[in-house]
């Protein structure tokens, strides 16, 4: 499920404002690999698609920072839907009233199968859209080899080489649906782990306004940018570790969008592959104090490889 979250986070922004190809330059200068850039992307897309079928599930911490403050949640992947339990606002524990409201919300989902099914369906719909976008990456862009960087904790495999490919829109790309239109105005770069053919980072910037559908008519403004990183956490499993979004636009042509956020995902722990939503809630409540004390919220050193 986490590879889906990686791409959902990445494209769910299609977005964010900073200079083109923002970020650190390649740290090494080496001959271009014998495999063409677009073939490197195809191999990575195939690996990401295969990873979506992995039965492995995890519990982890999610800390989201916005201009309005921070929210820290414990998350658990289940066979039903993602379970999320808020444990802090602005790095402070919830008040008794706030905590009870969280427990009531989770209990409602546990005893309301229709609401839980709707939640699960929304997650599956999101995953389907993301899957279509990921499959379009080799066709939507022109790629240029731009050297290598070195993986680190939370981005690829620590110490392993990452191939850097700059990308820009392919002039003749014709999106098959509204879903893929989000790729039309995007430029940036992608880092691919050379050994596992997994995407370690994607940094994209919109060079023009892009309209979208997805049931909510609107557009994203030029200059929007997203940065997403994922890395290996254990025995070959990869998870998203960081996501930064910054974009503006409009929904339904009159409601403004202004999103500025940074999320850090850490403290990954495996959970049973057949974990149900109800059992996950019990597990999150049980682990609440342990997670809260395990590391300081937002501390990059808390991210495990």
pLDDT tens per residue, range 22-77: 344 444 445 556 789 999 999 999 998 888 878 889 999 999 999 999 999 999 99
> pTM (2 decimals)?
0.81
d(CA 87, CA 64): 12
Q: What is the pLDDT of residue 41?
A: 95
Which parts of the chain sit beneath pLDDT 50? Answer: 1-29, 214-215, 295-305
Helix (H, G, I), strand (E, B) or coil at 107: helix
Q: What is the pLDDT of residue 247?
A: 81
- Structure tokens belonging to residue 151: 């993986």
Q: Which residues pair with 211 in a beta bridge?
A: 219
Burial 226-235 (b: 16+ CB within 10 A, else e): bbbbbbbbee
User: Taking a C-beta distance cutoff of 8 angstroms, is the pair 275, 45 a contact?
Assistant: no
Where do the structural domains in the chain lie, given as residue ranges?
A: 2-54+92-288
Listing DSSP states for 95-106 in one string gives PHHHHHHHHHHH
Q: What is the pLDDT of residue 25?
A: 44
Instruction: For 154, list phi and psi in degrees, rounded to 5.
Output: 90, -10
Q: What is the pLDDT of residue 32?
A: 58
**Residue whose token pair is 């979250």:** 5
Q: What is the pLDDT of residue 245?
A: 87
d(CA 187, CA 184): 9
């Amino acid at each position: 499920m986490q590879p889906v979250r990686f791409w959902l986070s990445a494209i769910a922004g299609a977005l964010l404002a900073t200079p083109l190809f923002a970020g650190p330059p390649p740290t090494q200068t080496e001959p271009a690999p014998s495999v063409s850039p677009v073939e490197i992307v195809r191999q990575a897309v195939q690996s990401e698609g295969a990873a979506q079928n992995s039965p492995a599930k995890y519990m982890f911490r999610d800390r989201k920072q916005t201009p309005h403050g921070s929210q820290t949640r414990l998350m658990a992947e289940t066979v039903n839907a993602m379970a999320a339990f808020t444990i802090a606002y602005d790095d402070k524990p919830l008040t008794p009233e706030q905590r009870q409201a969280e427990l009531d919300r989770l209990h409602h989902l546990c005893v309301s199968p229709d609401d839980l099914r709707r939640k699960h369906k929304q997650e599956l719909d999101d995953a389907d859209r993301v899957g279509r976008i990921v499959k379009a990456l080799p066709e939507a862009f022109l790629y240029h080899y731009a050297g290598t960087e070195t993986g680190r904790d939370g981005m690829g495999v620590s110490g392993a080489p990452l191939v850097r490919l700059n990308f820009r829109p392919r002039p003749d790309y014709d999106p098959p649906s509204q879903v893929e239109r989000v790729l039309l105005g995007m430029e940036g770069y992608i880092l691919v782990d050379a050994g596992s053919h997994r995407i370690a980072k994607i940094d994209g910037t919109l060079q023009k306004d892009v309209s979208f559908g997805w049931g909510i008519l609107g557009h994203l403004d030029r200059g929007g940018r997203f940065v997403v990183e994922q890395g290996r956490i254990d025995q070959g499993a990869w998870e998203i570790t960081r996501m930064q979004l910054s974009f503006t636009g409009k929904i339904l042509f009159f409601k403004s969008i202004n999103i500025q956020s940074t999320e850090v995902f850490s403290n990954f722990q495996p959970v049973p592959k057949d974990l149900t939503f109800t059992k996950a809630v019990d597990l999150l409540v049980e682990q609440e104090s342990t997670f809260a004390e395990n590391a300081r919220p937002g501390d990059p050193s808390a991210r495990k490889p």
